[in-house]
Amino acid sequence: MPLSDSQVADDDLLEFAAESPDTDDSSALPPWLVLMVDDDQDVHDTTLMSMRGMEIEGRSLQFLQAFSSAQAREYLANNANIAAVLLDVVMESEDAGLRLVKAIRNEFALESVQIILRTGQPGFAPEIETIQKYEINDYQNKTELSLVRLYTSLTGAIRTYQHLRAMEETRRGLEVVVHSSAELSKSRNLRSFAQGLLSQLCALMNTRADGLVCARLSHAANTQTRVVAATGVYATLLDTPLGQLPPGEPRKVIQKSLELEANLVGATTTLYLPAPGDQAVVVHVDACPAGAIDQQLIQAFCSSMTVGLENVLLHERMYSLAYQDQLLGVANRNRFLELLQDQIDQVGNGTVAVIDLDDFAGDNAMFGHEFGDALLKTFAQRLADTFGPQVGLARLSSDTFALVGSEQQITPEVLALCSSAVLQVLNQTVTVSATCGLVRIQNGSRSGAELLKQAYVALKLAKTQHRGDSMYYSEAMGTDATERSTLLRRLREAFESDRLFVVYQPQVLLRDGSTIGAEALLRWRTEDGKYVPPDQFIPVAEQSGLMISIGEFVLRSACHQLRSLNDLGYPDFRMSVNVSQVQFRDPAFVATVTRALADAGISPRNLELEITESMAAEELDFVLNVLSELKQLGVTIAIDDFGTGYSSLSILGQLQLDRLKIDKSFVDDLCESAGVAKSIIDIARSLKLELIAEGVETQQQANELLSMGCAEAQGYLFSRPLAVADLLSWLQSRT
């Protein structure tokens, strides 16, 4: 039966507010809703009359009046908070009331509502079974509808309702706690965890209040407290440090909670979650817990969230170790490779820069690590400020940084703002210089790792050719680099499997052609019988440091060869050994020579070391020291390829040298223009040095050199470099 408007009009909802509310509390709490279902107007009137002004548990009563079961259903469908139903058993039909009871329990699933059955005819009392099955609270005969009886019955019903609701609320709360911890255990970062924490607390409290989460986190040595999640009116405060929140609430209560390490629950709710290492998270909502949310439930919520928080922080820590530079807090190499891959996959163009500080090792050694760290921090900040958040910034290794971004953002011009900058480091003004290698990301660019390699190639080249400046990578550089690395790998294998050996080129006295000695020259014969020229593989070995071992191998081979020549009756034979710049710089070099001499048991004066002019041109003090130690051993020193370098006469004069080797290029030119060779010979004379000419191929050259005052020579005219056995027969044939 449809309801008429008048029947559901507001004035049907009668509220008996307390005549004079004695406390604020009781007036604040809503009245209990009681649904009265009866087709007898008199019953309604009498009930309302007798209950007027009554309070139960400090709250007034509000009656919903229904005159049929259909109307009652309407109320039940629209009011979730009905506490009790006063229900007439017999209405439209004899069992209308009981059918309504079934509907309340089953259809509307209102489990806590208390039902008081009322009947005019005693004979219609429901079966015991029915009372039990539908949890009927009471049964009354309308004839004995006294005020006291009704009040007692309603009070009992409402108290039961209240307890049931509290239990329901607790169960729901526990469900939220369980659900929350399951939900939040999926969070991988603090931000999403905090966001979830906020919404789960609101769910627990059955509210949609505004709230925020503050985290006190320690990273490296510094501790920071800032907002990590915020909703509603607080949304704009995300990322704000706690100290910069507007004064007053909620800043004060959050600070207090952190200080006391405690939950603060009152008009608002502030919960404290501790975390390892004096870290903590505080979640705050502008709402107080609804009646049934008790202390224990909040405690359960906090405990379970604390476990979740620990997991999240652990995960963040692991992430930071794997992807962040621990000193500077910027991305590390791993993370940079990911950023690079993103740029390749999602943008398809852009620029990568690798930036290396010039002379950082020197600064670090001179001013100390603390200064070095501060310099790196300042420089990283400079890069971040110059390029902004759109450009990915990382530290790849000690003083090498990397950037990835668009072509417009990363240019040599912008980089120059950082690569030659004046910085304030620990109250000192420092001028830094940095060199950059750049590479453009193009359609079809290969992996991030490959691009990074190319940027490094450009950097390496820039370091030697344009220090303090930028250089773009080009294909030509790349093939060189790849070839070099293949060559190096093959050389290492050859060295390890003894495919390197030494040959000896005789040196003679021009005057009579007698043999003075030989120069030891390295050979690499590949597995398929081909020779790789030393001019090709020696520079590669030098770049990698492999030259130190290879050089020692040549030195020891030559010394042993000298020893057998001594034993075979050539006691004054002189052995020349080439010394690479890398070997010369090796702090162990003098010791290596000493050991080689001792192990072979040869006289040091029969060993000559050939160094190059370029070596003499740098770090004079160092060169002077090493040379004087070598001279003390008793070995002699020659300058190889003399005339091709740029060493100044004044420097040459300071070095303890024995001989100049006139480079082949001057010998070649001898017959057309003897001028240069002549001046080299003059220099040697003025410095009181011996001379030897190399690359002598013709008798004419030999004659010319002799007439100019050069006593010794080496070249194809006399002999090509010889294998050990051939050297012996050559020597024997000459005597």
Which parts of 302-409 are beta strand (E)?
350-357, 392-397, 400-405
User: Taking a C-beta distance cutoff of 8 angstroms, is the pair 65, 8 a contact?
Assistant: no
Q: In the window 529-568, what residues touch Mg ion (CB under 5 A)?
A: none
Asked if 533 touches ligand C2E (CB under 6 A), the answer is yes
Query: Taking CB within 5 to 8 Å according to partner kind, which of Mg ion, ligand C2E, none is near residue 715?
Result: ligand C2E
Residue 443 Cβ, how far from Mg ion at the closest point, in Å?
Answer: 49
Query: Taking CB within 5 to 8 Å according to partner kind, which of Mg ion, ligand C2E, none is near residue 534?
Result: ligand C2E
Asked if 392 touches ligand C2E (CB under 6 A), the answer is no
Residues with Cβ within 8 Å of 319's Cβ and at least 6 positions away in sequence, in order, are: 188, 189
Of the candidates 641, 643, 654, the one whose C-alpha atom is nearest the C-alpha of residue 680 is 643
Q: Please provide the size of the chain in residues.
A: 735
User: Taking a C-beta distance cutoff of 8 angstroms, is the pair 35, 118 a contact?
Assistant: no
Q: In the window 606-635, what residues touch ligand C2E (CB under 6 A)?
A: 610
Asked if 507 touches Mg ion (CB under 5 A), the answer is no
Asked if 671 touches ligand C2E (CB under 6 A), the answer is no
The token pair at 709 is: 């005052």
Residue 686 Cβ, how far from Mg ion at the closest point, in Å?
Answer: 22
Chosen residue from 640, 655, 691, 715 binding Mg ion by CB under 5 A:
640
Asked if 328 touches ligand C2E (CB under 6 A), the answer is no
Q: In the window 193-222, what residues touch Mg ion (CB under 5 A)?
A: none
Asked if 699 touches ligand C2E (CB under 6 A), the answer is no
Alpha carbon distance 441, 306 (integer Å): 45
- Nearer to Mg ion (CB atom), residue 586 or residue 663: 663
Residue 696's SS3 state is coil
Number of residues that bind ligand C2E (CB under 6 A): 23
Chosen residue from 42, 345, 528, 535 binding ligand C2E by CB under 6 A:
535
Residues with Cβ within 8 Å of 478's Cβ and at least 6 positions away in sequence, in order, are: 454, 457
Amino acid type, 23? T
User: Taking a C-beta distance cutoff of 8 angstroms, is the pair 99, 121 a contact?
Assistant: no
Chosen residue from 445, 578, 606, 647 binding ligand C2E by CB under 6 A:
578
Residue 527 Cβ, how far from ligand C2E at the closest point, in Å?
Answer: 20
Chosen residue from 343, 505, 606, 636 binding ligand C2E by CB under 6 A:
505
Residue 695 Cβ, how far from Mg ion at the closest point, in Å?
Answer: 8
Residue 587 Cβ, how far from ligand C2E at the closest point, in Å?
Answer: 18
H or E element in which residue 428 lies: strand 428-441
Asked if 126 touches ligand C2E (CB under 6 A), the answer is no
- Nearer to ligand C2E (CB atom), residue 468 or residue 539: 539
Asked if 181 touches Mg ion (CB under 5 A), the answer is no
Chosen residue from 210, 641, 704, 712 binding Mg ion by CB under 5 A:
641
**DSSP code, position 483:** H
Alpha carbon distance 377, 379 (integer Å): 5
Residues with Cβ within 8 Å of 631's Cβ and at least 6 positions away in sequence, in order, are: 637, 656
Chosen residue from 586, 608, 641, 712 binding ligand C2E by CB under 6 A:
641
Asked if 578 touches Mg ion (CB under 5 A), the answer is yes
Alpha carbon distance 569, 176 (integer Å): 100
Residue 374 Cβ, how far from ligand C2E at the closest point, in Å?
Answer: 42
User: Taking a C-beta distance cutoff of 8 angstroms, is the pair 87, 115 a contact?
Assistant: yes
The token pair at 15 is: 């509220």
Asked if 454 touches Mg ion (CB under 5 A), the answer is no
Number of residues that bind Mg ion (CB under 5 A): 4
Asked if 517 touches ligand C2E (CB under 6 A), the answer is no
CA distances from 461 to 201, 235, 469, 477, 485 (A): 59, 51, 11, 8, 15
CA distances from 233 to 192, 208, 529 (A): 19, 12, 82
Chosen residue from 250, 695, 712, 722 binding ligand C2E by CB under 6 A:
695
- Nearer to ligand C2E (CB atom), residue 324 or residue 580: 580
Could you tell me where the DSSP H helices lie in 471-588? 475-496, 534-544, 546-567, 581-585
- Nearer to Mg ion (CB atom), residue 60 or residue 612: 612
Alpha carbon distance 561, 577 (integer Å): 12
User: Taking a C-beta distance cutoff of 8 angstroms, is the pair 417, 423 a contact?
Assistant: no
Alpha carbon distance 442, 450 (integer Å): 13
Asked if 531 touches ligand C2E (CB under 6 A), the answer is no
- 538-567 footprint of ligand C2E as x/- string (CB under 6 A): x------------x--x-------------
Q: Using CB under 5 A as the criterion, which residues of the chain lie in contact with Mg ion when the complex forms?
A: 578, 610, 640-641
Q: What residues line the site for ligand C2E (CB under 6 A)?
A: 505, 521-522, 533-535, 538, 551, 554, 578-580, 610, 640-641, 694-697, 714-716, 721
